[in-house]
Amino acid sequence: MSKHAPPQSHADKLKKALVWMTEALQEQPQKKRQTVLQEAELRFDLTPLECQFLDKHFSDC
């Protein structure tokens, strides 16, 4: 049995990014949403398509 965890699916990464973004915005409400989006995109190594989805649906909320 391998000691390595299975690779994360794209949906898992996106879900974890959304949870992290929610927590980050709750902990630091003064932080700009666009800044949190950019940090999530880097932190969770999101694909360009995933980044585009987040930008489209969460940058103006």
Q: How far apart are CA 5 and CA 57, in angstroms?
A: 30
Phi (first) and psi of residue 4, to 5 degrees: -85, 140
pTM exceeding the 0.85 threshold for the entire prediction: no
E runs forming strands in the chain: none
Tell which phi-psi region holds residue 37, choosing left (phi > 0), alpha (psi between -120 and 50) or beta.
alpha
pLDDT at 1: 43
pLDDT tens profile 1-60: 446 555 667 689 999 999 999 999 999 999 999 999 999 999 999 999 999 988 888 766
